[in-house]
Structure 1
């Protein structure tokens, strides 16, 4: 029995996939056949994509919003597209331009359709790959610029003197229990809500300030 699937990808967990989801549902994709990844498109090691890959069978149809939702790596995008449409025998429709990118139409055209599909796919995959490289270049330039201005890159640094009242009270309570051998260091930093490295960093600063 032919199944209709939808694949959605956004680049991070805080991005909203509702627009893509609405488009899939408008095409009749049931929620149980909708696969959503909230990760970068740099490779295909994505949990939901891999589940979709294992689920599809010959004659199935997969909707995607655009080619870059499948991925941004030029060679891998072409490889995955051909795996689905030629090895498995399923079809892909890109909603961004479904008049042009519907593998069913290429299939109906035989050898000429396959040649056209290869050409269009190569062009769009190249564009997606270049966009990924552009994003990475801009990120690197932004980080380098921020470093030159002395800005910290990454998570905010946590130090003893930056703790708020609640964090400081929690640290002191767990620190005293740890020093009294009432619990292990692991129990202490877990109870206080710190990572291991942050815990020992704060301990060192606290002991230096209080000459312990």
Structure 2
């Protein structure tokens, strides 16, 4: 029986997990909960047998788990998309933290500011550009973030990068390494087809609190 991945019917935290699953050809069912009828989720939240019920969730046979990072690492271990040497594990741990910081900076400007033009300009100048400069340097003479092999971290970073490109279409004009990275992941087998399909939700964000690209 195919595993079930549950999440709001937006890209959000589920998109990197789905990219990985599409890339490896892992069959799965996506249970998308409608934000316009949030009771659809909250009505069943405490009935599905999760120790810490939340979205996203995964049901895979006897395994039931929540939290996006736990889910993507679960599949990464299954499909050898995870660091194995001590050196690469350390680098992967660092990337986990840095990508989280990258996400939280974006979430802050998306949810916690008025979302006006000046807020976006300040975010790009003070937060986004310095962070991209570091990633650009990190990707010099390498194709992937960790140990120069494809891992789950690449799918996570790709989605965060893609969200910022949607916000700023010219974002990568001065970042050739990041442009190559984005193109490389976007054109992976499975990922390319998934992103071109109507199965990938169009909205990045959720609900009225999101000031930009919300449902």
Q: What is the TM-score when the length of structure 2 is the normalising length?
A: 0.31
Q: What is the TM-score when the length of structure 1 is the normalising length?
A: 0.31
Q: Which has the higher contact order (CA 8 A, sep 6+)?
A: 2
Structure richer in helix, relative to its length: 1
Q: Which has the higher Rg, Structure 1 or Structure 2?
A: 1
